[in-house]
Structure 1
Amino acid sequence: MEIHRAREDVLVAGAAAGTTVAIALLSGFGLVATVGSLATLAPLFVYFVYRFTRKGGPYGTWDVPRNWMLASLIVGVGVLVSPLL
């Protein structure tokens, strides 16, 4: 694996892991509605989709790590907001 690809992978994994931890902490301390354990892991699903759909290119203009990180954060916010609806 090339070093820049490894760095991209770490960034996306870090965003997904950070979002997952934030959901678990916010839910655990009662700052938001209780979120189920499967829903808590939803941002990691975004990372796995990122990981297993990138098979060496060519990548489109939208297929950049920043967008995958944003997708992970959007999924996390969606998980936090969904019990309130």
Structure 2
Amino acid sequence: MFRVYRADCYDEESRLKRCCEELQRRLERLNDAAADELRAHLRAAIDNVVAGMRYFRLQSDGPKIEEVSSEHPLVPR
């Protein structure tokens, strides 16, 4: 896929260098996409933890647990 003929390269060394550069760019794009997806998952996890704490500790329609202990951890399961 990346080791292909390139009309703008005049020798094998420059062709291989260009092929490697193209592979590197593709891998960096894939890595960036995976990192963005991971950041989105982490952001959702943090939002869910905060929403759970808000519901169990602060909201008027929640249980309003005041004590933080092993029985009532800060972040419920």
- Asked if these proteins are the same fold (TM beyond 0.5), I'd say no
- Normalised by the length of structure 2, the TM-score is 0.40
Higher share in helix: 1
| Bigger Rg, which one | 2
Q: Which has the higher contact order (CA 8 A, sep 6+)?
A: 1
